[in-house]
Structures are given as structure tokens and as C-alpha cells.
Amino acid sequence: MRPLRLRDVTVANRVWMSPMAQYAAGADGRPTDWHLVHYGARAVGGVGLIMVEATAVGPSYRTTSADLGLWNEEQAVAHRRLTSFLAERGTVPAVQLQAAGRKGSHQLPWEGAGQNGSVRGSAGGWETTGASADPFGELQAPREASGADVDEVVESFAHAARMADLAGYQAVEIQGAHGYLLHEFLSPLANRRTDEYGGDPQGRMRMPLRVARAVREAFPAHEPVFFRITATDWIEGGLTLDDAASFAKELAAAGIDLLDVSSGLVVRDTQARAPVREAVHAGYAEALKEASGLAVAPTGQIGDLALADELVAGDRVDAVMIGRALLRDPYFALRAPATAPAAWPAPYRRAV
């Protein structure tokens, strides 16, 4: 597969790893041996770019107490062992920066009620802040973010982008999807504000665009910034592809380089999520590329390499973000029958 150049960063191929939270950080938000082995295996497996999981821009922006964080220099330095291993293997190390909003302070997915179970302050949790004060499902109700809270979110993202650079990441992604804080501000289903950050689409876009501009300014100009965008909320009254296209044009003007295209999950409703369908966001990604002129990489239900090849071959999309298929098989990217033995790590070649 051909390389892809974004600003001064060249990614060796178009099969990339989608961000997937591991809930394996220490209490201080630093990566552990788990992260090195987990991401390291996918780099050995020839993935072009690894988007390290949602990493909080401050302690109160975490989803759980086991989230990675990039809000101080000690954390940044602790990421270096991971970023340098990936870079040595020829994989571009990238990280997703996140503010959880009203979906924050919940249990680990495999404990208790999981992502639907709040951890309250008395049990080691924290107060959450949302676009509005409405809860997500059974989770605790957030406090509505004040103007000063919005300023703090913007500055926290910018600071985390600087920490990501210090950590050795060559690209960052802003998490703007899946019902977390930026998506909450964007979607009329979660934003009932009457101030400058609510109301019409311009108002609802204001806070995420401030974040996009601040991250772009804080991260080195020769390296790309991605945005995980919501193509649709799937349900009546929510964001549509037209809304996403208008927003994508604004992101292009803010200097964003690539849209990682996802959807849904802004409210707790079984309809508010992508249906089971192969490459479910590929068509949306093509439409957003057309509308914005930006590079695009869809995520979602791309389960084999032939399909990945087909999507990138005609330049319909620029890369694919592979999630669960890479959890099942770290060598996913090397599985094509035509893969030359030389693509495998030298000590493995006698096996292929």
C-alpha cells in the first residue's frame, strides 16, 4: 500500500489502528507495560499509524480512574518509551486527546454497571461537567459548563497537545465524537444552552472550533492534527451529514488535516448508534472529503484487509482506522496473501 504524507509526516501505509481505551493506566494516568506490549505488538504487525487510546487532557476529563493522561510533564516523559518503540518500528505514534464531559467518572467496562455506572466523589470519582446539566442515561448529572470552564477546556487541550509533542507523538487527534464533551456541545440532543456556545449550529460549533484552533496552534506546524468527527447522530433531532459537512469545512479552515469519521452515542438510545454494516462510515467519509477537501479515514466494521485495500485503492478514502479486528489479531495488516515476507519482522520470516 502506498504511503500517505500529511504535513511533514509520512505514514508508511493506509492501515491504521483506531483508538481503543485499555483502562490500564496507573492512578497517575501514565502508560504501563500493558500499553507498551499492546501497542508494540501492533507496530510489529506493520500498522502504519497507531492512534493511542483516548487520553485525558486533565484529571476531571477522564472517563475512569484508569485512563491515560497527558496533563503534565511526568506523564509526557512516561509515554516516550512507547512512542520511541513505535517510531523505531516505522509506525507513526499518534494520540487521541479527550475530555469526557457527562460521560466521565464511570466504572471500568467490565466492573459493576460498567460504562453505565457512575463512580461518585465519595468512592474516588469526581464531578463531571457537560454542555448542559442533563445526564447521559443512568450516569450522574453533570454541572453545566460555565464560560470559564469552556476556557479551561480549550487551554487544557492546548496544553495536552504540547505534552503530546514532548511525549514524542507525531500526530494528535481531538476526540469530537461518541457523546463526549465536544460532541455534547455540537449536538442539539445534548446542548440546550442559551449562551454563545448553544443555540444555532454556529453557536454549537463555537467551543469545538476553539479547541481545534488551540490544538492546531499548540502542536508543531510540521505535524498533523486529526479530528474524530460525528457523521450523524442517527436519530431525529440530532446531527445530520449536512451538519457534519458544514462543520468539516470549518475544521478545514481551522487547520485540521484529517477527519477520522465515526458516529452516534450522544444519547443513551439503542437507535443512536451505527447499525451493523460493513465499513459503515466509508460513504460518510467520502462525502465529508468531498465537502471539506480534507483527508479522511473511516472507522467501523472494516474486518478484512481486502476491504481495506478496496477502500483506499481508488482514493475514496485516504486511510482506514481498524478497531476490533486489530484487537483480535495484531498481525492484521500483514495478512494479505501478497504480503512479502520482507514486510514481517526479520526474526519471524521463517514462519511465513
Ligand X SMILES: Cc1cc2nc3c(=O)[nH]c(=O)nc-3n(C[C@H](O)[C@H](O)[C@H](O)COP(=O)(O)O)c2cc1C
331 tagged catalytic: no
Q: Please select the residue that binds ligand X; options are 6, 13, 15, 18, rule is CB under 6 A.
A: 18
Selection from 176, 236, 234 nearest residue 210 by Cα? 176
Q: Please select the residue that binds ligand X; options are 13, 14, 15, 19, rule is CB under 6 A.
A: 19
Q: Any residues with CB less than 8 A from the CB of 190 and at least 6 apart, and which?
A: 102, 130, 131, 132, 134, 179, 183, 184, 266, 267
State yes or no: residue 312 binds ligand X (CB under 6 A).
no
Give me the least distance between CB of 22 and ligand X, in Å please. 8
Give me the least distance between CB of 168 and ligand X, in Å please. 19
Give me the least distance between CB of 304 and ligand X, in Å please. 11
Selection from 256, 246, 336, 328 nearest residue 297 by Cα? 256
- If you search the block for the grid coordinates 466494521, which residue do you land on? 301
- If you search the block for the grid coordinates 457523521, which residue do you land on? 231
CB 81 within 8 A of CB 36: yes
Nearer of residues 130 and 323 to ligand X, judged by Cβ: 323
| Segment contacting ligand X by CB under 6 A, of 6-14, 118-126, 130-138, 297-305 | 297-305
Residue nearest to ligand X (CB): 323
| Segment contacting ligand X by CB under 6 A, of 72-80, 140-148, 215-223, 294-302 | 294-302
Q: Please select the residue that binds ligand X; options are 243, 300, 305, 331, rule is CB under 6 A.
A: 300
Q: Please select the residue that binds ligand X; options are 302, 305, 311, 319, rule is CB under 6 A.
A: 302
| Segment contacting ligand X by CB under 6 A, of 24-32, 119-127, 185-193, 316-324 | 316-324
Q: At what angle do helices 201-218 and 241-253 cross, to 10 degrees?
A: 40
Q: Which residues in the 62-101 window bind ligand X by CB under 6 A?
A: 96
Give me the least distance between CB of 98 and ligand X, in Å please. 7
Q: Please select the residue that binds ligand X; options are 2, 192, 324, 349, rule is CB under 6 A.
A: 324
Nearer of residues 57 and 198 to ligand X, judged by Cβ: 57
What is the chain's Cα-based Rg? 19
CB 225 within 8 A of CB 269: no
| Segment contacting ligand X by CB under 6 A, of 80-88, 161-169, 248-256, 317-325 | 317-325
Print the binding letters for residues 213-252 with ligand X: x by CB under 6 A, - otherwise: ---------------x------------------------
Q: Please select the residue that binds ligand X; options are 140, 175, 232, 263, rule is CB under 6 A.
A: 175
Nearer of residues 9 and 20 to ligand X, judged by Cβ: 20
Q: Tell me the C-alpha distance between 261 and 285, whole Å.
A: 6
Number of chain positions touching ligand X (CB under 6 A) = 19
Residue 52 bridge partners (DSSP): 95
State yes or no: residue 289 binds ligand X (CB under 6 A).
no
- If you search the block for the grid coordinates 461518541, which residue do you land on? 178
Q: Tell me the C-alpha distance between 113 and 265, whole Å.
A: 17
Query: What's CA 305's distance to the chain center, in Å?
Result: 22
- Long-range contacts (CB closer than 8 Å, 24 or more residues apart) made by 140-149: 140/105, 141/102, 142/101, 142/102, 142/104, 144/193, 145/181, 145/197, 147/195, 147/197
From 39, 180, 197, 331, active-site residue? 180
Q: Tell me the C-alpha distance between 134 and 132, whole Å.
A: 6
Name the grid cell of 109: 467496562
- If you search the block for the grid coordinates 465519595, which residue do you land on? 122
Task: Write out the residues near ligand X by the rule CB under 6 A.
Answer: 18-21, 53-54, 96, 175, 178, 228, 262, 299-302, 322-325
Residues taking part in catalysis: 180
